[in-house]
């Protein structure tokens, strides 16, 4: 054991372990593999453990300290690799040939947290505030902890570095086959860490060091040159690019998806969507927003706070930056009633491109009701488009009318410089009956400008929108022609019979109530019989439900599942065998319980 300051010690195990002792209590930053390493140095009790990432060389001993009463904190971005490492390892496919980050290199057993380390938020312990700094590179979800103690600003950086100008292992930083996503994020994280002006760096492997000007820049220069050798062009660090549309309206042109900002003259702002701001977004399995935006809002736009966030729809590339906005500014959310639950509880749905945790909706706007912000009226209404869960947002400022259509117009329309087409993903729940509505809604609104999700802000071209009407008419006619269903929407909506919640983790003997939401797309009332089934040992009540569903409406019923004390499978699905108006459709809906 080596003392670094009055309250910080350092022990070398399978990783570098840092201990903080305050008021007779001990906190560890990473904890290595062997508790004996600490115990032989006189550390018999640990009260809290902060983990920087999921690799077991840094966290294997966490289970031991948790059994002794320690509070465990780990990055929310990597929660599955801690909490569900057993299932993850069991389901790992060695023929998944293009994943390169070794998802099985986590702890031996499932590890439940007492608290998550959320990006841009903080963890408090014994009067010390540990700011959570996202530092992806070594892993996609890695964090650092920035804190002040004994007169020093200190950064525990995990495996971002192992010493001045050094990293211990590079292979972790290639997350996908022949891909530089991890490399780029590592570079950007080094720039972030360098800008924190820490007096002392605590690396995950190697000796703690006091950084000099070259500690970061030498490592950055080498990684930049490696990038240039491979790509035949120099690496340019990401910087948000702003485009002014009118006096008070701006667009971030290089976020994914496009981000729109309305500001007043006193530095207050409202956002419509907030896409990923990165050269290599962590945008799919997992999702993570790295903030390369907020440092420039005040310096370039004079914005010192973001008061409200209006999402066009629930997809991750449009909601990505909201957790950062909420953490930094306390930004609040506006929604229609139809999107509220999905925004707050995405974990209850089987919908694509969902963010991994919900957001609190602070203000619900009903149809034809205005949300007033700084003397501007915003209208936020749910209208099916690229997804069933989609908003049209319109407002007038600076003498111009703006209409935000989210992803109703596909980014392909702009990349390929062609007439409008819509973003077509049936899993989003895109009813055939909504296709004709999308262009007509734009024509009816008659805006000056359109906010698109992946084509930026464009001037409204009525002739182009009218040509889109013809395209959508033919698109609708073809699907109506080929779909062999009582109503074509039934052949395009995978969740017209839907369990809620869709997936839930259970304990032995637990009882869970599932709702069944049934949508009748037809104009006439229809009968619906549901027979429920599960694996052996699961008791379902009732076993059968008979319903009549009025035309063009939704209805709901409930089934209760009681699970056995012992499981023979990891998954215990519940299925609904559906007979619709006398036609037996089979087990077309499921919920997944697992342990």
Examine the pLDDT at 95 and tell me if it is beyond 70.
yes
Confidence grade of residue 595 (pLDDT, cut at 50, 70, 90): confident
Question: 40 and 186 in one domain?
Answer: yes
Decide: 472 and 275 in contact? Cβ < 8 Å: no
Last residue of one domain, picked from the residues 203, 231, 259: 231
Q: Which residue has the tokens 């703006």?
A: 402
**Position 488 in a domain:** no
Rounded CA-CA distance 326/492 in Å is 36
Decide: 19 and 9 in contact? Cβ < 8 Å: yes
Neighbours of 390 (CB within 10 A): 28
Question: 156 and 60 in one domain?
Answer: yes
CATH, residue 546: 2.60.40.10
Angle, alpha carbons 94-98-99 (nearest 5°)? 75
Residue 144: per-residue pLDDT = 98
**Position 490 in a domain:** no
Mean pLDDT over 556-571 rounds to 94
Asked, as a colleague might, if the bond just before 286 is cis with ω within 30 of 0, I would say yes
Mean pLDDT over 471-487 rounds to 97
For 368-402, write each residue's pLDDT tens digit.
Answer: 999 999 999 999 999 999 999 999 999 999 999 99
Confidence grade of residue 156 (pLDDT, cut at 50, 70, 90): very high
**Position 237 in a domain:** no
Last residue of one domain, picked from the residues 461, 482, 503: 482
Of the listed ranges 94-103, 226-235, 436-445, 574-583, the one predicted with least confidence: 94-103
Rounded CA-CA distance 312/406 in Å is 5
Residue 284: per-residue pLDDT = 73
Domain span at residue 456 reads 242-482
Examine the pLDDT at 285 and tell me if it is beyond 80.
no
**Position 62 in a domain:** yes
What is the pTM for the complete model shown?
0.95
Question: 227 and 247 in one domain?
Answer: no
Examine the pLDDT at 559 and tell me if it is beyond 70.
yes
Distance of CA 20 to the CA centre of its chain: 32
Question: 516 and 382 in one domain?
Answer: no
Residue 286: per-residue pLDDT = 73
Mean pLDDT over 80-107 rounds to 93
Q: Which runs of E-coded beta strand occur in 398-463?
A: 400-404, 449-452, 456-459
**Position 562 in a domain:** yes
Rounded CA-CA distance 543/531 in Å is 6
Neighbours of 169 (CB within 10 A): 11
What is the Cβ-side half-sphere exposure of residue 325, based on CA atoms within 13 angstroms?
Answer: 31
Examine the pLDDT at 287 and tell me if it is beyond 90.
no
For 228-243, write each residue's pLDDT tens digit.
Answer: 999 999 999 999 999 9
Largest CA distance in the chain: 78
DSSP letter assigned to residue 128: E
For 20-56, write each residue's pLDDT tens digit.
Answer: 999 999 999 999 999 999 999 999 999 999 999 999 9
With CA atoms as reference, report the closest residue to 160 among 107, 216, 121: 216
Question: 440 and 307 in one domain?
Answer: yes
Chain mean pLDDT for the chain: 96
Mean pLDDT over 426-447 rounds to 95
Last residue of one domain, picked from the residues 207, 231, 255: 231
Question: 351 and 204 in one domain?
Answer: no
Examine the pLDDT at 75 and tell me if it is beyond 90.
yes
Question: 162 and 256 in one domain?
Answer: no
Angle, alpha carbons 202-208-213 (nearest 5°)? 90
> Number of folded domains in the chain?
3
Q: Which residue has the tokens 């009226």?
A: 377
For 319-363, write each residue's pLDDT tens digit.
Answer: 999 999 999 999 999 999 999 999 999 999 999 999 988 999 999
CATH, residue 249: 3.60.15.10
Strands 152-158 and 200-203: parallel
Q: Which residue has the tokens 């570095």?
A: 161
Rounded CA-CA distance 287/356 in Å is 7
Rounded CA-CA distance 7/521 in Å is 66
Rounded CA-CA distance 53/105 in Å is 11
Strands 332-335 and 305-310: parallel
Distance of CA 584 to the CA centre of its chain: 38
Examine the pLDDT at 575 and tell me if it is beyond 80.
yes
Question: 171 and 68 in one domain?
Answer: yes
Confidence grade of residue 495 (pLDDT, cut at 50, 70, 90): very high
Question: 473 and 386 in one domain?
Answer: yes
Residue 357: per-residue pLDDT = 87
Share of the chain above pLDDT 70, in %: 100
Question: 94 and 19 in one domain?
Answer: yes
Question: 249 and 133 in one domain?
Answer: no
Question: 504 and 390 in one domain?
Answer: no
Share of the chain above pLDDT 90, in %: 96
Rounded CA-CA distance 371/359 in Å is 19
Mean pLDDT over 519-544 rounds to 97
**Position 6 in a domain:** yes
**Position 489 in a domain:** no
**Position 487 in a domain:** no
């Amino acid at each position: 054991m080596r003392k670094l300051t009055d309250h910080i010690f350092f022990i070398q195990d399978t990783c570098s372990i840092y201990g903080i002792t305050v008021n007779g209590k001990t906190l560890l930053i990473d904890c290595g593999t062997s508790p004996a390493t600490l115990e032989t140095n006189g550390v018999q009790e640990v009260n809290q453990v902060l983990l920087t990432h999921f690799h077991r060389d840094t966290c294997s001993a966490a289970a031991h300290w948790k059994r002794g009463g320690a509070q465990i904190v780990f990055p929310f971005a990597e929660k599955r690799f801690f909490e569900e490492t057993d299932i993850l390892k069991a389901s790992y496919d060695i023929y998944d040939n293009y994943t390169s980050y070794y998802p099985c290199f986590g702890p031996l057993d499932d590890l439940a947290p007492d608290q998550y380390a959320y990006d841009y938020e903080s963890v408090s312990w014994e009067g010390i505030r540990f700011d959570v700094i996202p530092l992806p590179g070594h892993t996609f979800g890695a964090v650092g902890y920035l804190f002040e103690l004994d007169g020093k600003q200190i950064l525990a950086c995990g495996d971002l570095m192992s010493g001045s100008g050094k990293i211990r292992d590079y292979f972790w930083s290639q997350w996908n086959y022949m891909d530089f996503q991890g490399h780029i994020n590592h570079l950007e994280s080094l720039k972030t860490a360098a800008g924190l002006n820490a007096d002392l760096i605590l690396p995950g492997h190697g000796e703690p060091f006091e950084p000099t000007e070259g500690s970061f820049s030498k490592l950055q220069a080498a990684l930049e040159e490696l990038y240039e050798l491979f790509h035949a062009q120099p690496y340019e660090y990401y910087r948000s690019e702003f485009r002014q549309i009118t006096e008070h309206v701006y667009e971030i042109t290089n976020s994914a998806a496009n981000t729109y900002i309305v500001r007043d003259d006193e530095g207050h702002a409202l956002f419509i969507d907030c896409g990923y701001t990165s050269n290599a977004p962590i945008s799919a399995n997992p999702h993570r927003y790295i903030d390369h935006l907020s440092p420039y809002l005040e310096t370039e736009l004079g914005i010192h706070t973001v008061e409200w966030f209006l999402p066009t729809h629930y997809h991750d590339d449009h909601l990505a930056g909201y957790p950062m906005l909420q953490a930094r500014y306390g930004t609040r959310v506006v929604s229609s009633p139809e999107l509220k639950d999905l925004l707050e509880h995405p974990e209850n749905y089987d919908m694509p491109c969902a963010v991994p945790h919900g957001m609190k909706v602070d203000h619900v706007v009903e149809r034809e009701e205005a949300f007033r912000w700084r003397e501007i009226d915003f209208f936020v209404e749910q209208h099916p488009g690229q997804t069933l869960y989609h908003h049209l947002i319109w407002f007038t400022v600076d003498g111009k009318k703006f209409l935000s259509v989210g992803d109703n117009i596909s980014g392909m329309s702009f990349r390929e410089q062609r007439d409008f087409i819509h973003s077509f993903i049936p899993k989003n729940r895109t009813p055939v009956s909504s296709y004709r509505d999308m262009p007509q809604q734009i024509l009816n609104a008659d805006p000056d400008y359109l906010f698109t999700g992946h084509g930026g802000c464009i001037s409204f071209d009525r002739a182009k929108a009218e040509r889109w009407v013809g395209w959508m008419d033919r698109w609708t006619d073809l699907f109506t022609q080929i779909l062999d269903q009582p109503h074509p929407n039934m052949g395009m909506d995978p969740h017209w019979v839907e369990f809620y919640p869709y997936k839930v983790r259970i304990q032995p003997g637990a009882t869970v109530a599932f709702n069944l939401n049934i949508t009748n797309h037809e104009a006439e009332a229809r009968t619906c019989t549901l027979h429920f089934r599960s694996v052996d040992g699961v008791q379902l009540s009732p076993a059968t439900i008979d319903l009549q569903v009025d035309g063009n409406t939704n209805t709901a019923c409930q089934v209760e599942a009681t699970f056995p004390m012992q499981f023979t499978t990891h998954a215990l699905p519940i299925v609904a065998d559906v007979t619709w108006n006398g036609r037996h459709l089979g087990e077309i809906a499921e919920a997944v319980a697992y342990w």
